[in-house]
Amino acid sequence: MTNNADSIVYRTLDGSEAQLPRGVLSRFVGALGGHVTTGGEAYERARTTWNAMVEHRPAVIAHCSSTEDVTEAIAFARAHTMLLSVRGGGHHVAGNAVADGGLEIDLSPMRGVRVDAAKRRAFVGGGALLGDVDAATQAHGLGVPLGINSTTGFGGLCLGGGFGWLTRKLGLTIDNLVSASLVTAEGDALTVSAANEPDLFWAIRGGGGNFGVVTSFELALHPVGPLVHSAIVAYPASDARDILMKWRELTANAPEELTVWALLRKAPPLPFLPAEVHGTDVVVLVALYVGDPAEGARATAPLLRFGKPHGHVAGPQPYVAFQQMFDPLLAAGARNYWKTNEFVDLADGAIDAVIEGSRALPGPECEIFIASLGGAMGRVSSNATAYAGRSTRYVMNAHGRWRSPAEDATVRTWARALFDATAPFATGGGYVNFLTADEQARVESAYGSNYARLRDVKERFDPDNVFRMNHNIPPREIPRRVKSRSTRITRRE
Ligand X SMILES: Cc1cc2nc3c(=O)[nH]c(=O)nc-3n(C[C@H](O)[C@H](O)[C@H](O)COP(=O)(O)OP(=O)(O)OC[C@H]3O[C@@H](n4cnc5c(N)ncnc54)[C@H](O)[C@@H]3O)c2cc1C
What is the identity of the amino acid at 72?
E
Please, are residues 232 and 263 in contact by the beta-carbon 8 Å criterion?
Answer: no
Strand order in the sheet with 113-116: 113-116, 121-125, 213-220, 177-183, 189-193
**Least spacing, CB of residue 385 vs ligand X, in Å:** 14
- Nearer residue to ligand X within complex by CB, 164 or 374: 164
- Nearer residue to ligand X within complex by CB, 209 or 378: 209
- Nearer residue to ligand X within complex by CB, 421 or 489: 489
Interior angle at CA 242, CA 240 and CA 248, nearest 5: 95
**Least spacing, CB of residue 371 vs ligand X, in Å:** 7
**Least spacing, CB of residue 206 vs ligand X, in Å:** 11
**Least spacing, CB of residue 4 vs ligand X, in Å:** 30
- Nearer residue to ligand X within complex by CB, 135 or 347: 135
**Least spacing, CB of residue 443 vs ligand X, in Å:** 12
101's torsion region: left (phi>0), alpha (psi -120 to 50) or beta? left
Give, as ranges, the residues between 392 and 431 that touch ligand X (CB under 6 A): none
What would the x/- binding string for ligand X be over residues 306 to 345, using CB under 6 A?
------------------------x---------------
Stretch binding ligand X (CB under 6 A), from 205-213, 222-230, 271-279, 440-448: 205-213
What is the identity of the amino acid at 131?
G
**Least spacing, CB of residue 447 vs ligand X, in Å:** 15
The DSSP letter of residue 391 is T
Please, are residues 143 and 319 in contact by the beta-carbon 8 Å criterion?
Answer: yes
- Nearer residue to ligand X within complex by CB, 115 or 157: 157
Number of residues that bind ligand X (CB under 6 A): 35
Stretch binding ligand X (CB under 6 A), from 1-9, 93-101, 266-274, 303-311: 93-101
Among 144, 214, 240, 263, binds ligand X (CB under 6 A): 214
Give, as ranges, the residues between 151 and 190 that touch ligand X (CB under 6 A): 152-153, 155-157, 159-160, 162-164
Cα–Cα distance, 169 to 156 (Å, whole number) = 22
- Nearer residue to ligand X within complex by CB, 89 or 374: 89
Kindly report the backbone phi and psi dihedral angles of residue 401, in degrees, each rounded to the nearest multiple of 5, phi listed first.
-145, 125
- Nearer residue to ligand X within complex by CB, 49 or 358: 49
Please, are residues 161 and 208 in contact by the beta-carbon 8 Å criterion?
Answer: no
- Nearer residue to ligand X within complex by CB, 127 or 296: 127
CA atoms within 13 A on the CB side of 250: 24
- Nearer residue to ligand X within complex by CB, 95 or 309: 95
Between the alpha carbon of residue 270 and those of residues 233, 264, 266, 467, the distances in Å are 12, 15, 11, 42
Stated as kind and residue range, the H or E segment containing 11 is: strand 7-11
Among 103, 107, 243, 457, binds ligand X (CB under 6 A): 107
Q: What is the SS3 assignment for 137-200?
A: HHCCCEECCCCCCCCCEHHHHHHHCCCCCCHHHHCCHHHHEEEEEEECCCCCEEEEECCCCHHH
Instruction: State yes or no: residue 470 binds ligand X (CB under 6 A).
Output: yes
**Least spacing, CB of residue 84 vs ligand X, in Å:** 9
Between the alpha carbon of residue 371 and those of residues 359, 374, 379, 394, the distances in Å are 20, 10, 18, 5
String of b and e for 40-79 (b: at least 16 CB within 10 Å)? Answer: eeebeebbbbbbbbbebbbbbbbbbbebbbbbbbbbbbbe
Instruction: State yes or no: residue 97 binds ligand X (CB under 6 A).
Output: yes
**Least spacing, CB of residue 197 vs ligand X, in Å:** 15
Give, as ranges, the residues between 114 and 153 that touch ligand X (CB under 6 A): 126, 147-149, 152-153
- Nearer residue to ligand X within complex by CB, 156 or 309: 156
Determine how many CB atoms are found less than 10 A away from the CB of residue 9.
14
Among 50, 76, 337, 343, binds ligand X (CB under 6 A): 50
- Nearer residue to ligand X within complex by CB, 216 or 358: 216
User: Hey, is 261 helix, strand or coil?
Assistant: strand
Among 47, 87, 335, 339, binds ligand X (CB under 6 A): 87
Please, are residues 173 and 380 in contact by the beta-carbon 8 Å criterion?
Answer: no
Stretch binding ligand X (CB under 6 A), from 92-100, 276-284, 309-317, 449-457: 92-100
Cα–Cα distance, 464 to 381 (Å, whole number) = 31
Between the alpha carbon of residue 331 and those of residues 130, 327, 328, 427, the distances in Å are 14, 6, 5, 30
Instruction: Report the candidate in 301, 85, 342 with the shortest Cα–Cα distance to residue 285.
Output: 301
Among 11, 47, 63, 91, binds ligand X (CB under 6 A): 91
**Least spacing, CB of residue 332 vs ligand X, in Å:** 8
**Least spacing, CB of residue 125 vs ligand X, in Å:** 8
Which residues here bind ligand X, judged by CB under 6 A? 50, 85-93, 96-97, 107, 126, 147-149, 152-153, 155-157, 159-160, 162-164, 208-209, 213-214, 330, 433, 469-470
